[in-house]
Chain A
Amino acid sequence: MADREPVIGIDLGTTNSVVATVQSNQPVVIRNRTGSNLTPSVLAVSKTGKRLVGQIAKRQAITNPQDTIYASKRLIGRKFSSQQVQEAMKVLSYSVVCGDHDDIKIRMGGKDVSLPELAAMVLAELKLDAEAHFGQPVTKAVITVPAYFNDGQRQATKDAGRIAGLEVLRIVNEPTAAALAYGFGKTVNGKIAVFDLGGGTFDISVLEIGNGVFDVIATGGDTYLGGEDFDNRILEHLVYGFAKEHGVDLRKDRMALQRLKDAAEKAKIELSSSKEVQVNLPFICTPPGGGTALHLQKPLTREKLEELCADLIEKCIAMCDQVLGEAKVKPGDLKEMVLVGGMTRMPKVVEAVKKYFKRDPCKGVHPDEVVALGAAVQAHSLTSEESQVLLLDVTPQSLGVAIAGGYVRRLIPKNTTVPTSTTEVFNTSKDGQTTVKIMVLQGEVEIAHQNELLGEFILTGLREAKRGEVEIEVTFDINSEGIVSVSARDKETGQRQSITVTASGGLTEDELQKIMEEQGDYLLEAKVSEELKTKRGELDAVLKEVSGLLPQVQKLTEGSEFGVDAVSKAVKSIEAARRSLEVGSLSTVTESVDTLNRTLNLFRGVLQRIGNR
């Protein structure tokens, strides 16, 4: 095709994912092959060992709770031993196991799968949707992540893209993407805030827009605060009530847990439009001592939900206050307030936001789709010359090194525009010290070990001298791709050591390579089967036509010298075609289509000639 290769933007969400592109200068959502805009970020391995992605996986969740994986984004890039993961495991219906480097693996269909692999399955599905839409391969994408994701989580997402066979042009922050979509094609000049409360994460960003430049002033959030937490509050409320009444902990039964989770989400969504719902889960479990099954029937009012979740909403507003403070803007200075994420449909959230920002939120954007649209805008602006959009994004968290006494010295403060770099001179801290260890940290806490350790390296061969005499120059660099690299130099000898920070606690390069090879087979398979489907359709059609003509031809050629072996040959190839339609591989099906086409031509010729006689 003469067109440039298509590029896509993907919102890889906690509960739903969306893929979009820019077509004739307008960002549009690409529908998936089931015809809907949202693809649930749910994966499953069915009882027959088939891998399911999206709506089909979600639909069978209740009957297959153990092998249905949802909300895995909440775990990506985290350590197994972290508090959030340990907490999450209590209410997850699938098993989370510990990998080799305190990373997380998920048991799915009897295999331990890493989180980037899981994310890659969703990405691969979206890639196929996009390819179906364009009718040609798609390899370039921009993927969004919550603004407050740390370097490890970003790297893990990038890895997922690579596994899915995508070249990730850029990882973009979700609220920033939302702002891009909001401001695209409009002349907006001024400061806006984006409040993004999604399925698993919360972000708040303040941007200044002017002449197509989208400049992020400050951003903040919580990567563990979202719709899932609201669901869990309802779930716990139901479990608690049930325990009081019947003395049974429903969380111990995986199927009950999955049904409860489902019901909690539905109740939450319904309560956005109605004042009260009935949670109705008949035959939820059998009592431990035997006897008749127990039912869970409980009304839930909007007030109760708001009470259960009041602190979550307050946490969001407190975060807004903090970020606005960092951006040095008052709510009144803002031109617009954009709400993003499904959770912003909850009336109480809207009310709290309105009260704090003292204005009605912008209604012009679709909370579920705007992030993907923004990602598409960014993908387009990076790859096309004529684009007038420029994004100036920031580092969400501070970067620094550990210094003597267990503290952090920050080299790049948070909310610094990237790309950026900075250099600072350090001294040795002990007499006669000949090596120094540079530990690269990300986070806002003064105490070193409470921050995220991105990586570490050692600079050796320093001159033996009194403490403080040897000077070491440390340089931090964040390039426009958002990748952090750090180097240290002995000022005296000029000796240098450096690292490019890669995902810690996630996959090693070797593991990634291995997965890509395995996944490569799968991808090839997926594409072939698409092709196979169309070929089968072709074969089916031609088969019908040939079998329809066969009796006529048999009758006409009966007794004539033309006949016997040609007709019997045709009958044989029809039989072969029937078989290959049932079980054939792509090559045999293609072969059958060709043979039958030849037979069909022959039949037509015969009919015409004899008919003309």
Chain B
Amino acid sequence: MAVGGALSSEVINGLGARSDFIAAVPQVDVRRLALSPEETLLFSLVGRAAQISEVIGKSHLAEPRAIAALLALRAKGAIVPARIQKGVASTSNAALGEEVELDEKRKIEILDFEAKLSTSNHFQLLGVPNLASPDEARRAFHELARRFHPDRFFGKNLGSYRSRIENIFRKLTEANETLGDIARRTAYLGAHPELVDIPAMPSVDAVAPRTRTSDDDLRDAERRSRLTRHPYLARSAKVSHLIKRAKESLANGEPSLAFNDLNLAARLDEKNAEVKTLLIEVRKKHDANRSDVEFKKGKELMEAGDNRGALSSFKSAASIDGATPAAHYYTARLAMVTGGDLKEASSHAQKAAEAEPKNAQYREVYARILEQAGMKALARKQFEELLKLDPENAEAKKQLKRRWPF
């Protein structure tokens, strides 16, 4: 058995040398194997194929436990020993010989990781189990950043390794930022349904009764389960499940939940007409609902004296399509009194004033914001308008009279 120079030559019975490779059995149905959490972790670390020592090292498990889990995976038929000509070897021989300020070990580390970039999903790249939490992903990212951040190699002659390192770090950043942001994570999982634990198709369950354990039956089951994992079928199953759940949520008066589900569904299947019509309907309800909720929250906060909190609520309310003029008005007014962005405030004030041109209150806030933003001429015009609406308005009178003492 070939043994890598620097690595231990110890042989693990049933798996091979530590420097040997193991591969995941293609198309294996993980759900039916009833893996323990440890086994699941190791299985995800194997990815398509990986070196045994590397998998053990990355698992952060005590070595005997890691080996036991690997043996269990082997026994369950999830992994097999693999004779892999190191994928990178052919292209990287030249790179390994390149004269740069890196030692051999570092070079191999970089080349190995680079080879993983194209075949790994975001979780595998960070070396965390599938569906790991954003916090876990971030911690793993920090550890990897310590190894691959370009600053670690500052001022060194790196030759072709510079772009390799930068590329690795970029991919790590992308993985971390995608998994850490709720919206991006949802989109990513939507595009990779194989990562999500989908509800089983009825047909799979129908096959399950194993009255006879003939080879035929087993093969049938295997074929069906492979079909359900085919990206297209997995997707449509997920879409119909999501539509069903969305309809339920809608019936229960929870448009926000329905909206989330439908959004996910739309991303999985862009052409689905049912999803589209439902989405339009739900979006309206959802928007109106959200705007309303935010507006109420804003009013409550304002009464409680928390102007800043109220402002952010009003702002969200006003940012939603079809928001009421009142939402715009309160946003503008609070932005003005708390010293917020006057440009933004003035656009809200303008919307409110234009929606209800006869409302003196709206007009006054618009005029005052313009005044504060230094747009004196516009402000003056608005104050004049205001005076027409409300001839007794003290602020307008004062503003139209005011003069700087010199």
Contact = CB atoms under 8 A, between A and B. Distances in A.
Contacts of A212: 146
Interface residues of B, number: 26
A315 B339 CA distance: 6
A240 interface: yes
Interface stretch (A416-424, A553-561, A567-575): A416-424
Interface stretch (A98-106, A277-285, A317-325): A317-325
B406 A249 contact: yes
Contacts of B170: 419-421
A317 B311 CA distance: 13
Interface in B259-299: none
B405 A419 contact: no
Interface string B371-406: 000100000000000000000000000000000011
Given A311-B339, A314-B339, A421-B170, A321 B312 contact: yes
B138 A317 contact: no
Contacts of B166: 419, 479-480
Contacts of B177: 416-417
Interface stretch (B148-156, B199-207, B233-241): B148-156
A390 B151 contact: yes
A321 B139 CA distance: 25
A392 interface: yes
A382 interface: yes
A390 B312 contact: no
Interface in A197-234: 208, 210-213, 215
B308 A318 contact: yes
B405 A480 contact: no
A211 B145 CA distance: 11
B173 interface: yes
Contact of B152 (A244, A315, A390, A420): A390
Contacts of B138: 208, 215
Interface string A302-343: 000000000110110110010001000000000000000000
Nearest to B156: A385
Contacts of A244: 405
B142 A480 contact: no
B155 A382 contact: yes
Contacts of A552: none
B169 interface: yes
Contact of B406 (A213, A243, A312): A243
A81 interface: no
B338 interface: yes
Interface string A384-410: 000000111000000000000000000
A240 B405 contact: yes
Contacts, number: 68
Interface majority SS on B: helix, strand, loop or mixed? helix
A383 interface: yes
A243 B404 CA distance: 10
A383 B308 CA distance: 45
Interface in A108-125: none
A382 B151 CA distance: 6
A445 to B, nearest CB: 8
A314 B338 contact: yes
Interface string B166-185: 10011001001100000000
Interface string A465-506: 000000000000001100000000000000000000000000
A391 B151 contact: yes
A212 B151 CA distance: 14
B340 interface: yes
Interface in A53-100: 83
A210 B406 CA distance: 58
B338 A213 contact: no
Given A325-B312, A480-B151, A318 B142 contact: no
Nearest to A415: B177
Interface majority SS on A: helix, strand, loop or mixed? mixed
A211 B374 CA distance: 49
Interface in A351-401: 381-383, 390-392
A501 B146 CA distance: 29
Contacts of B169: 419
B154 A382 contact: yes
B11 to A, nearest CB: 34
A391 B145 CA distance: 9
Given A318-B338, A390-B145, A479-B166, A419 B150 contact: yes
Contacts of A312: 339
Nearest to B143: A211
A294 to B, nearest CB: 15
Given A240-B405, A420-B170, A480-B150, A213 B145 contact: yes
B173 A211 contact: no
B181 to A, nearest CB: 9
Nearest to B406: A249
A420 B174 CA distance: 8
Contacts of B155: 382-383
B142 A417 contact: no
A208 B176 CA distance: 14
Contact of A318 (B149, B339, B374): B339
B180 to A, nearest CB: 9
B154 A318 contact: no
Contacts of A311: 339
Nearest to B173: A417
Interface in B122-174: 138-139, 142-143, 145-146, 149-152, 154-155, 166, 169-170, 173
B285 to A, nearest CB: 26
A162 B234 CA distance: 59
A612 B338 CA distance: 93
Nearest to A208: B138
Interface in B226-264: none
Contacts of A416: 173, 177
Contacts of A325: 312
A231 to B, nearest CB: 18
Contacts of A243: 405-406
B154 A383 contact: yes
Nearest to A381: B151
Contacts of A314: 338-339
Interface in A521-541: none
A211 B166 CA distance: 22
Given A382-B151, A383-B154, A390-B152, A211 B146 contact: yes
Interface of B: 138-139, 142-143, 145-146, 149-152, 154-155, 166, 169-170, 173, 176-177, 308, 312, 338-340, 374, 405-406
Top 8 nearest A-B pairs by Cβ distance? A480-B150, A311-B339, A213-B142, A382-B154, A417-B173, A315-B339, A249-B406, A314-B339
Given A213-B146, A420-B173, 8 more contacts: A213-B145, A243-B405, A243-B406, A382-B151, A390-B151, A392-B142, A417-B176, A419-B169
26 contacts: A83-B374, A169-B154, A211-B146, A213-B142, A213-B146, A215-B138, A215-B145, A243-B405, A243-B406, A247-B405, A312-B339, A314-B338, A318-B338, A318-B340, A382-B155, A383-B155, A390-B146, A390-B151, A392-B149, A416-B173, A416-B177, A417-B177, A419-B166, A420-B173, A480-B150, A480-B166
